[in-house]
């Protein structure tokens, strides 16, 4: 529910703007107050009258509208909100945000705000793929801007691909995640997830079967309890959680760097299936057959242990560090030893033998090992494991 929440909704100029009118309705149904801001281009697609009729609020349009300045200055307008949502976020608006431009009301509000900003990009697939947009996305993610979508599908322009704005209800879910009131409000939680890919040469890599489902569910559950979540993920199969800060990495060393950059955090969950080894030497060219049948010998080096590194930090260690243990035998014994060795507070151990169907599956059967002992949880959905783990973390952090 969004009762009592105030959302500043910046509507950019794209064909998806018509969906933003529905978004206003959906947000208001949940109790939010929605204050619309229209860019000049947005007015080509939706009228200020329809935005104001649906929101029952004054619609803001022009930076130099003195009446507005007298009533509420643009600084105040941007800060009176609990969340700023940009939907649709056009390539142009994203470029302005990434470049720090402030030449109209929308971009000025985005520069002036001290509140979280959630954007729902919408543009033609080629525009989405353009290196300039990709650079802007990376910059915006680094700045902590939250993303919802875009989705893949048919576009108004007749092309197919990534670039369709997320549906209004998906945006509502991301809004709820971004401003959820809950016991973890004000807390920063870090979650690692997915496999890592360690390149053998430019075309081959070492990986594992982790889908990222459990880590994604944990990030979603923590966020639903009001936490600000940084989600550091390897190349996972499942869709990224909405309303959290997503940092994409490939290798274990990149994951460690991203985790260190994201600290400090109040709590951290290391659900990633990090590759234990990488190639000892980087190979820049594809390894070729030599025509004589001789086989390549791969020489490995050990990857840094991210969980152990963070658990053993002398300064700035998160108050609660939770590791996972993927075992195929002697689960409790191995995981108990792992908890001690790595120095984390809790270990969530699971049996990843192929017959359990856990790795890559929808369910999990875990044993949670803490300094108080061993707790066996019944087999349940990964979402339920996540909810229960998040609730236990709330208690531990109180």
The least CB distance from residue 224 to ligand CTP, in Å, is 22
Return the number of the residue (91 or 310) whose C-beta is nearest ligand CTP.
Answer: 310
Return the number of the residue (105 or 269) whose C-beta is nearest ligand CTP.
Answer: 269
> Residue 303 and residue 290: Cα distance in Å, rounded?
29
Return the number of the residue (129 or 312) whose C-beta is nearest ligand CTP.
Answer: 312
> Residue 130 and residue 234: Cα distance in Å, rounded?
23
Contact (Cβ atoms closer than 8 angstroms) between residue 349 and residue 335: yes
> Residue 159 and residue 152: Cα distance in Å, rounded?
11
Q: What are phi and psi of 345, to 5 degrees?
A: -80, -45
Residue 11 CA from chain centroid, whole number = 22
> Residue 5 and residue 81: Cα distance in Å, rounded?
8
Tell me which residue has its CB nearest to ligand CTP. 306
- Terminal-to-terminal C-alpha distance of the chain: 24
C-alpha closest to that of 222 among 183, 194, 169? 183
The least CB distance from residue 317 to ligand CTP, in Å, is 14
User: Which residues are at the interface with ligand CTP (CB under 6 A)?
Assistant: 192, 252, 270, 272, 274, 276, 303, 305-307, 323-326, 338
CA atoms within 13 A on the CB side of 157: 15
Return the number of the residue (192 or 387) whose C-beta is nearest ligand CTP.
Answer: 192
Return the number of the residue (252 or 320) whose C-beta is nearest ligand CTP.
Answer: 252
> Residue 223 and residue 151: Cα distance in Å, rounded?
21
> Greatest CA span in the chain, whole angstroms?
82
The least CB distance from residue 148 to ligand CTP, in Å, is 27
Question: If you count them, how many residues does the chain have?
Answer: 398
CA atoms within 13 A on the CB side of 201: 9
Judge if the upstream peptide bond of residue 150 is cis by omega within 30 degrees of 0: yes
The least CB distance from residue 263 to ligand CTP, in Å, is 14
* DSSP code for 281: S
> Residue 197 and residue 219: Cα distance in Å, rounded?
21
CA atoms within 13 A on the CB side of 32: 30
The least CB distance from residue 323 to ligand CTP, in Å, is 4
Q: What are phi and psi of 45, to 5 degrees?
A: -110, -40
Contact (Cβ atoms closer than 8 angstroms) between residue 200 and residue 283: yes
Which residues make beta-bridge pairs with 247? 232
Return the number of the residue (212 or 226) whose C-beta is nearest ligand CTP.
Answer: 212
Return the number of the residue (258 or 326) whose C-beta is nearest ligand CTP.
Answer: 326
Return the number of the residue (13 or 323) whose C-beta is nearest ligand CTP.
Answer: 323
Q: What are phi and psi of 85, to 5 degrees?
A: -115, 135
The least CB distance from residue 212 to ligand CTP, in Å, is 12
Active-site residue 344, yes or no?
A: no
Q: What is residue 187's three-state secondary structure?
A: coil
Catalytic residue (one of 157, 169, 287, 301): 157
Q: Catalytic positions, please?
A: 157
């Amino acid at each position: 529910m969004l009762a009592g929440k105030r959302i500043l909704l910046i509507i950019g100029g794209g064909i998806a703007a018509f969906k933003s009118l529905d978004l206003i309705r959906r947000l208001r149904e949940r109790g939010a107050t929605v204050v619309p801001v229209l860019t000049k281009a947005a007015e080509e697609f939706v009228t200020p009258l329809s935005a104001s009729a649906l929101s029952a609020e004054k619609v803001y349009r022009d930076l130099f509208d003195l009446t507005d300045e007298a009533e509420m200055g643009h600084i105040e307008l941007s800060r009176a909100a609990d969340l700023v949502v940009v939907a649709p976020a056009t390539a142009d608006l994203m470029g302005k945000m990434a470049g720090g431009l402030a030449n109209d009301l929308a971009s000025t509000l985005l520069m002036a705000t001290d509140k979280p900003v959630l954007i729902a990009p919408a543009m033609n697939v080629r525009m989405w793929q353009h290196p300039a947009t990709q650079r802007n996305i990376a910059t915006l993610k680094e700045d902590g801007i939250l993303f919802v979508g875009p989705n893949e599908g048919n576009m108004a322009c007749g092309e197919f691909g990534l670039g369709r704005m997320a549906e209004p209800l998906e945006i509502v879910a991301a809004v709820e995640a971004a401003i959820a009131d809950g016991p973890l409000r004000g807390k920063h939680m870090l979650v690692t997830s997915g496999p890592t890919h360690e390149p053998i040469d430019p075309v081959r890599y070492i990986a594992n079967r982790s889908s990222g489902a459990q880590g994604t569910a944990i990030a979603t559950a923590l966020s639903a309890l009001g936490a600000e979540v940084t989600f550091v993920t390897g190349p996972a199969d499942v869709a990224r959680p909405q309303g959290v800060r997503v940092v994409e990495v490939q290798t274990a060393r990149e994951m460690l760097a991203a985790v260190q950059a994201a600290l400090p955090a109040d709590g951290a969950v290391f659900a990633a299936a990090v590759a234990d080894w990488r190639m000892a030497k980087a190979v820049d060219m594809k390894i070729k057959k030599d025509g004589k049948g001789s086989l390549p010998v791969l020489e490995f080096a050990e990857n840094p242990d991210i969980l152990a590194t963070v658990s053993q930090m002398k300064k700035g260690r998160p108050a609660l560090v939770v590791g996972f243990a993927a075992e195929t035998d002697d689960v409790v014994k191995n995981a108990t030893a792992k908890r001690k060795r790595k120095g984390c507070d809790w270990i969530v151990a699971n049996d990843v033998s192929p017959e359990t169907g856990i790795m890559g599956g929808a369910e999990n059967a875990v044993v949670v090992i803490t300094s108080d002992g061993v707790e066996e949880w019944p087999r349940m959905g990964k979402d339920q494991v996540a909810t229960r783990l998040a609730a236990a973390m709330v208690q531990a952090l109180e």
